[in-house]
Structure 1
Amino acid sequence: MINAKSAIVLTAILGLSGTSATQAQTIQSSAGALTATVLAEGLNHPWALAFLPDGRFLVTERSGALRVVEKGVAGPPIEGVPAVAASGQGGLLDVVLAPDFAESGRLYLSYAELASAVGAQRGAATAVMAGRLELDGDGGRLEDQEVIFRAEQYDPSTRHFGSRIAIGTDGNLFVTLGDRGRMERAQDPLDLAGGVVRIAPDGTIPQDNPQRDGWAPEFWSIGHRNPQGAVVRPDDGALFTVEHGAQGGDELNLVEGGKNYGWPVITYGRDYSGLPIGEGDSKEGLEQPLHYWDPSVSPSGLAIYEGALIPDWQGDLISGGLSGERLVRLDLEGDAVVGQEDLFQGELGRIRDVRVGADGAIYALTDADNGRLIRIAPEGK
């Protein structure tokens, strides 16, 4: 493993993104000196990031606000965002722009939906809303909102909602769902918790979903614990996810349709009590992870690096790490992980989301009361 925690330099950069003084940190990495520059602060547990076509940023806060960040300042909450169950790990979660966003303004939000939204008695479930974003000088609003997906079984647990959205090369949506802290749900073929579902942009079910006997038709895969990162590789449409294990056993999976990824029957982790979980770390008919972590890194957010700034990292996976407060690079050759590099370990905070911008820089969000938007790029670029 390459450790890039050494040679940390603290500097101050004036005027970047309109801020008067922006702290930055520089480390040595396999790609040379990398600088992490704070672009914005004061975000309330930011969860997801999207890039607007005009260069501004769109950020979700777990407490329920969707904000535009411009010149280091987070604007007022966008109106028309759904009410969320902002408790524990629940709240407003992912945001993804439709491929034609520049023309349509369409985007997708995933969130913990209150049971009261559907007349249920209590609890919450993961849902996805589509809407059209209208921006103006005073902020903005969502129009034409429509809930296109609901996990349906509303549970009082405030744990393990997932929930990332990744758009496939065919335009369909993959949505990751956690097991809600009730591990047995991940092996129930009719319970969407602990699975990855595939839906069309309007929420209908694609006819070419796996349709395995006994499975709910929305399913792409089952047997996941709490996947909080998902990305589609553009050249072949492959879906990669990262998910939290229990004590150890975090996983990177190459998720193929119709397959069972084993949780909680097989895992490389142990229960928080120290007792074993399931039947071991392998079983016929259940898939092995592409890579696993023990001890845990608590991966959240996942991107494929395809920028021009760091050519040596082309095609590699970049994940946030909540445990150990790190950025994790996985050296990917084909579909095999051949190395790992931990970056900025203990220096930036709990990294919740990671995206690669059109400029080739890596952008990250830190999960905190005073969360930050950070740009990471080769020194001087």
Structure 2
Amino acid sequence: MRAVLTGVSSTVAGALALTAITLAPASAQGVHEAGGVKFTVTRAVADLSYPWGFDFLPDGSLLVNEVEGRMWLVSTDGERRIEVTGVPRVRAVGQGGLLDLVVAPDFGTSGRVYFTFSEPGTGGAGTAAATARLLREGDTARLADVAVIARMEKKTGSGRHFGSRIVPAPDGTLFVTLGDRGDADRAQDPKDHAGSVLRVNADGSIPDDNPFADGAKALPEIWSTGHRNIQGAAIEPSTGLLWTVEHGARGGDEINRPEAGRNYGWPVISYGRHYSGLRIGVGAQAQGYEQPLHYWDPSIAPSGMAFYTGDAVPQWRGSLFVGALKDQLISRLEVENGEVVAEEQLVVGDYGRIRTLRNGPDGTLWFSTDEGEGALYRISGAR
């Protein structure tokens, strides 16, 4: 696990915010093979400290979050970057910090980005999602009009299980995934945000068709409940449906396709066990709780996920990719008719802890590594 860090405000992070920095050039890492398919992994951006979320701007440049509280704008060739100012203060402790980052689908007209972070407050911290406009002026970049659009109201001192991902849906709404903050029972409380998937409009208002929109039985922004610690989420291109992957305890990492108003069982059911070895809840199944589409036992400690839509490695198109922290690998899952039908493991132990996966603008697949000397890597076809 990453060492405990001190919370940082990007506006106080130092003079680097105003200076373009030259980075080490990208370098090829080697050719790999899996399932008869050869592919090349290239380090595209080096010299990053625990990079978490990242995404591509329309011109091919990158935004990258470092967990300690810094956001970087990186040039298309990966060799220059400037720090983005205006990032809200985060409580970077344990698994918390500046987390996911997504460029809005309409960025070309709105200039908006979305991001998640561990928000400090009374009692400690909780996961929050925010929107802002990215303004670029010469060698400077800043966030303007920052607004929180979803937040975990109950703050605690725990450094565990913040989640979190933010995913734009085809209908213009946003899904936000939240961990249980290390307090499992919170995931079964419909009046608590912890351990849930939220669904909000882009301005933070509640969609009328949310399952609990009237707030009578559950908080109106809740989409689904009973999740432990969702650290990966993606929209399936062929269906427009949300898929998620979450950490189990000792085993029981699971992939779900969260549906409106459904309960996914944590901590009543699980395919894993407590770290003590004792059974979790009532076992693996119980009436009223949904079953996962796929699970791992023992745990791989999954993080980011992405459906591959590119053509750099055409044999993989349509596959679901999941990164793993503990097992330091990328799992490629074949999906047919909404079911996981096969799995193979790539780059096992070769690049460290895999954090986030994204489709690149050139048809490649990118990933980040959760390391003190972290980096962004690009996967392309072997030449």
TM-score by length of 2: 0.91
Match of residue 117, structure 2, among 111, 128, 137 = 111
Q: Residue 78 of structure 1: which of 84, 100, 121 is its match?
A: 84
Work out the percentage of aligned pairs sharing the same amino acid.
50
The residue aligned with 2:351 is 348
Q: Determine if the alignment matches structure 1 residue 300 to structure 2 residue 303.
A: yes
- 1:43, 1:74 within 8 Å by CA — same for their partners in 2? no
Cα contact 1:31–1:310 (8 A) shared by 2: no
Map residues 24-39 of structure 1 onto 2, 5 A cutoff. Answer: 24-30=29-35, 32-39=37-44
Which consecutive segments of 4 or more residues in structure 1 shift more than 6 A?
none
Structure 2 equivalent of residue 290 of structure 1: 293
Contact 2:237/2:307 (<8 A) preserved? no
Aligned to 1:92: 98
Q: CA deviation at 1:153?
A: 0.3
Q: Partners of 2:172 and 2:352 in 1: how far apart?
A: 34
Q: Distance in 1 between matches of 2:82 and 2:26?
A: 22
Per the alignment, residue 69 of structure 2 pairs with: 64
Aligned pairs, number: 359
Q: Which amino acid aligns with 1:340?
A: E
Deviation at 1:245, TM superposition (A): 0.4
Matches of 1:232 and 1:57, distance apart in 2: 21
- The answer as to 2:223 corresponding to 1:220 is yes
Q: Which moved more, 1:81-90 or 1:204-213?
A: 204-213
The offset of 1:19, in angstroms, is 5.1
Aligned 8 A contact 1:169 1:234 in 2: no
> Hey, what's the Cα distance between the residues in 1 that align with 2:147 and 2:89?
13
CA distance in 2, matches of 1:211, 1:132: 30
Aligned match of 2:53? 48
Change (3 A) 1:46 1:106: same
- Give the C-alpha shift of residue 21 in structure 1: 6.0
Secondary structure at the aligned position of 2:375 is classed as: strand
Where in structure 1 are there 5+ consecutive unaligned residues?
1-16
Letter in 2 for 1:320: G
- Structure 1 pair 152/20, CA: closer, same or farther in 2 (3 Å)? closer
Deviations 1:14-63 (A, max 9, x none): xxx99546141211123621111111111110001100111111110000
Contact kept, 8 Å, 1:331 with 1:340, in 2: the verdict is yes
How do residues 1-381 of structure 1 correspond to structure 2 at under 5 angstroms? Answer: 20=25, 22-30=27-35, 32-70=37-75, 71-73=77-79, 75-115=81-121, 120=122, 122-211=123-212, 214-380=217-383
- Which letter does structure 2 place at the counterpart of 1:211? F
CA RMSD of aligned residues (A): 1.5
Gapped runs of 5+ residues in structure 2? 1-21
For the residues of structure 2 that align with 1:364 and 1:204, how far apart are their CA atoms?
Answer: 32
User: How big is the shift at 1:203?
Assistant: 0.2
- Tell me the TM-score normalized by structure 1: 0.91
Alpha-carbon shift at residue 314 of structure 1 (Å) = 2.3
Give the SS at the match of 1:102: helix
Q: In structure 2, what is the Cα distance between the partners aligned to 1:170 and 1:245?
A: 30
The 2-side partners of 1:29 and 1:132 are apart by: 41
